[in-house]
Structure 1
């Protein structure tokens, strides 16, 4: 049995309850979400409960997800929420985990290591209000893992970076600062980076199936197919997630991981500088004299456009699509006219 404190209960959740609430329920934390039911844990133990019908009618971000706290059928306000935009043409939120204290951003010391993707994860963590820790796995398979550590530290100077071998029995000691009783951690990363391998080591047994790596491109196979919160030996909790081939961001602050660019933008002569031929643009000046990489600037602009698209209203999306359709129609008409001549 676990106490509420051991399950991650905080005064923040206690403050949401009234004296009347105590007569009509008790605290339960969500371990896993399935199509028709959810698995929960409380001071009384674990249970599987049917998904109330009215929950299925709620918006995605109003439904329970892994890590949430419930009081009866009431979803308590969250301390943090990790979410992304689901794949597909319709930009809908997809919840990953709630009430997470630390996010382990996992990349391996091989072809998987990607600074652009790392920055996306950092933006995600910042938007969720979760502390990020960069974990570089498979450090034992490269000649010098310090090279990968240095690159990660340059991209994220204020974020802890840990290089480890997920199979080693001492892997947990490298994460001791964050693996404390009652703390909730989540792991995010591409397929094959070693999330399940590291989790098995932290659990002390092979609960999670592990998959191999394709040698030609270091890409792995999906082994985790659902999100599940599990207790670790030291009293903390870990939420493992399926490997991500794509991480689409919503309406977020994209300056995280681009601190240098954020500082330059503040130095522009005009507050409404578009950084595209504007007079006194500090960003363009930095690119011109080599202080700022044009590649980093293009990465930033890409994330910026993605965030702007995510926060568009439905009316704005329809207007943009209508304008684009008009341009396409004009181009097709001109081409037909030209071919007709």
Structure 2
């Protein structure tokens, strides 16, 4: 059933593009596109040019196969779901590195990775988010919050930031994580929050937010969506002793950005395992990826082999040794967590590494 007061929107305003239009064939004549706005255990809610609709699911449909941001085709008379269109980008992760990937969001143009200028700022964790964004095919942007609180709070308050750190040093550390990475300061409660993020939030564009709980993600979603947001995200504080936040967002949802565009909020991720991210890691650690072919041995581990171009760069001071350490850890984790194809030819199945079938 369509909500009667929803303003009409063009498909382009909802994020429709030639990528999706080119997937339509003669068999889809008479069907209409809808964009998934909410995924629940037993139902799907979607956006249409006329407003919000609840989709009618076919028998035995699995809502877990759909992500917020997906485009689907439906019978416009009954809103019966017929099929899902291929995704332009998809954010997904494996829980514990095993099992089926958990869908986080689909067809996201920009992924805002939100972290605060305090104990929450963790380069190793930010690199995991960057690998996720790179692998998904979406543009990563790091947003730094609470920069205005550096040095203003008491020494026991996590919001004061790390000793000796300034807003500029947080910015420099973030920019060094990936070549060409965009980084911006933003105060989620400030009136200019939308203006700061405007370059990525144009009409029809979709952004998503990830990051630890308590860094201001839900507040930022509320600021982007404006006062017309139907169900504001609940916000919460952080524990002062370690800057760890309380989970306040428990489900993913798609919201209109005031003035154009769409934003997807996601629950806080305390653990993000790297898997299926070979391309994402190569992009993240481009300075190592580009040096590797120059090593004397093709299977160089960049640890102790003679003629290693990576170790030479470290000795020359042009490569941060901490980056190599983190690269090695994530590469090892990605290899261990990425499932492999096993079984006889013609009947191969996907299985976790180390598990025989």
Q: TM-score range by the shorter chain?
A: 0.7 to 0.9
Deviations, residues 122-177 of structure 1 (Å, cap 9, x unaligned): 11111111011111111211143222111111222401110121111111111111
> In structure 2, what is the equivalent of residue 236 of structure 1?
261
> In structure 2, what is the equivalent of residue 19 of structure 1?
26
C-alpha distance in 1 between matches for 2:116 and 2:169: 12
Does residue 258 (structure 1) correspond to residue 285 (structure 2)? The answer is yes
1:320 aligns to what SS in structure 2? coil
> In structure 2, what is the equivalent of residue 335 of structure 1?
none
The structure with the larger Rg is: 1
C-alpha distance in 1 between matches for 2:178 and 2:208: 19
CA 1:262 to 1:19, structure 2 compared with 1: closer, same or farther past 3 Å? Answer: same
CA 1:271 to 1:29, structure 2 compared with 1: closer, same or farther past 3 Å? Answer: same
Match of 1:226 among 251, 254, 269: 251
Query: Normalising by the residue count of structure 2, what TM-score does the alignment of the two structures yield?
Result: 0.83
C-alpha distance in 2 between matches for 1:236 and 1:117: 28
Kept in 2: contact 1:122–1:256 (CA 8 A): no
> In structure 2, what is the equivalent of residue 70 of structure 1?
72
Matches within 5 A, 1:280-295: 280-288=307-315, 290-295=317-322
> In structure 2, what is the equivalent of residue 47 of structure 1?
53
1:218 aligns to what SS in structure 2? coil
The Cα shift of 1:289 comes to: 5.3
Query: Normalising by the residue count of structure 1, what TM-score does the alignment of the two structures yield?
Result: 0.86
> In structure 2, what is the equivalent of residue 95 of structure 1?
103
Count of paired positions: 316
Root-mean-square deviation (CA, aligned residues, Å) is: 2.1
Kept in 1: contact 2:217–2:265 (CA 8 A): yes
Does residue 124 (structure 1) correspond to residue 132 (structure 2)? The answer is yes
Q: Show structure 1 runs of 5+ residues with no match.
A: 323-341
C-alpha distance in 1 between matches for 2:258 and 2:314: 50
2:115 aligns to what SS in structure 1? strand
Kept in 2: contact 1:107–1:135 (CA 8 A): yes
Does residue 203 (structure 1) correspond to residue 225 (structure 2)? The answer is yes
